[in-house]
């Protein structure tokens, strides 16, 4: 039996729930039909979904469902969007996205994914592509409702411990500062993919499993006046400190991926995945916020809807799914 020890402020915080969503990765064989996926999402009260590319059939399956989407703009299209005119971006949006899904279901466009640290060839194209897309959205009077950002990996930080030492890698500063300026100017969030599982497994001699799984009943890390009882919040605040060091205070933050694998690696199990994801959801629904931004709930997207057996890399990367291919829950987690 799992026992979740929640601090007093979590139980009492009079705050507003932050949106909870799930990532719909599709690098797998024998995935359920799109119509079955929609039924699965709606029956579990999941109203926010991240898709990683504008696949027409996938987008059409969401049309009219009321489910809000983060839609990925693939890295490989960024050079064309950056080099083209706003008119080209407008035509691309209309033919690849707006033709297939109503605009009122689009919460964000995620322009590229983990470009700056993992796919650096495309780094110079991110902000120019976003600028053209933004001007295209302005033409359609959608710039205030459809927000643009670009999810980044935790590796864009060269320092993250303690959180107040959070600093962007100096090699990517020349690209991340224009990105932050764009986000600040357009009131858009900084998007990050945060995996305490990876931090724990790479530094288990320094990080306890309880700290990574929200199972510490007291502060584990004291960073100045701020106390941290879990690695998730410490990781997020490191990004906030890093943005402030570049002169950007108050830029919202959205966690576009986070999760814990059920098998394939150290401490990867159904029990641990439930402990981690359930606590992420509970805190988002309670609108708790991090120690640095208390009362500002963190919008978060759990990774992943299904296991993805087509993924390369380490075995655990294939096993983040919360649901089985038959629609059953691998573990019992509530999204509302």
Q: Which of 76, 114, 271, 278 is catalytic?
A: 114
Strands 152-153, 190-193: pairing kind:
parallel
Report the candidate in 104, 103, 42, 113 with the shortest Cα–Cα distance to residue 76.
113
**What's the sign of the alpha-carbon dihedral 21, 163, 110, 114?**
negative
- Please indicate whether residue 317 is annotated as part of the active site: no
Q: Is the peptide bond before 32 cis (omega within 30 degrees of 0)?
A: no
Query: Distance between CA atoms of 214 and 233, rounded to whole angstroms?
Result: 10
Cα distances (Å, whole numbers) of residue 180 to 124, 171, 173, 313: 14, 15, 10, 31
Query: In whole angstroms, what is the distance from residue 267 CA to residue 188 CA?
Result: 35
Angstrom distance (rounded) from CA 188 to CA 110: 11
For residue 273, what are its two tokens? 């995945």
**Residue of 91, 257, 267, 271 marked active site:** 257
257 flagged as catalytic: yes
**Which residues are tagged catalytic?**
114, 257
């Amino acid at each position: 039996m799992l026992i979740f020890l929640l601090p007093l402020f979590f139980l009492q915080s009079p705050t507003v729930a932050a949106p909870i969503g799930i990532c719909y990765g599709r690098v797998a064989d024998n995935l359920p039909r799109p119509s079955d996926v929609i039924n699965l999402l709606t029956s579990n009260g999941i109203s926010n979904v991240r898709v990683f590319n504008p696949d027409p059939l996938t987008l059409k399956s969401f049309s009219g469902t009321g489910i809000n989407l983060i839609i990925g703009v693939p890295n490989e299209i960024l050079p064309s969007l950056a080099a083209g005119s706003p008119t080209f971006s407008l035509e691309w949006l209309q033919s690849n996205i707006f033709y297939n899904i109503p605009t009122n279901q689009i919460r964000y466009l995620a322009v590229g994914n983990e470009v700056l640290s993992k796919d650096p060839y495309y780094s110079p194209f991110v902000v120019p592509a976003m600028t053209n897309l933004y001007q295209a959205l302005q033409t359609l009077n959608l710039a205030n409702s459809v927000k643009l950002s670009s999810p980044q990996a935790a590796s864009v930080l060269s320092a993250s411990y303690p959180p107040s030492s959070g600093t962007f890698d100096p090699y990517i500063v020349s690209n991340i500062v224009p990105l932050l300026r764009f986000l600040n100017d357009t009131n858009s969030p900084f998007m990050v993919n945060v995996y305490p599982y990876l931090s724990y497994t790479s530094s288990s001699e320094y990080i306890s499993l309880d700290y990574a799984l929200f199972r510490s009943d007291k502060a584990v890390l004291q960073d100045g006046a701020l106390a941290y009882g879990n690695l998730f919040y410490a990781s997020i605040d490191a990004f906030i400190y890093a943005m402030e060091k570049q002169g950007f205070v108050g830029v919202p933050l959205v966690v576009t991926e986070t999760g814990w694998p059920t098998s394939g690696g150290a401490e990867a199990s159904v029990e641990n995945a439930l402990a981690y994801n359930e606590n992420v959801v509970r805190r988002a629904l309670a609108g708790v916020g991090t120690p640095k931004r208390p009362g500002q709930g963190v919008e978060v997207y759990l990774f992943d809807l299904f296991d993805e057996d087509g993924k390369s890399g380490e075995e655990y990367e294939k096993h983040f799914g919360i649901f089985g291919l038959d629609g059953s829950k691998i573990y019992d987690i509530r999204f509302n």
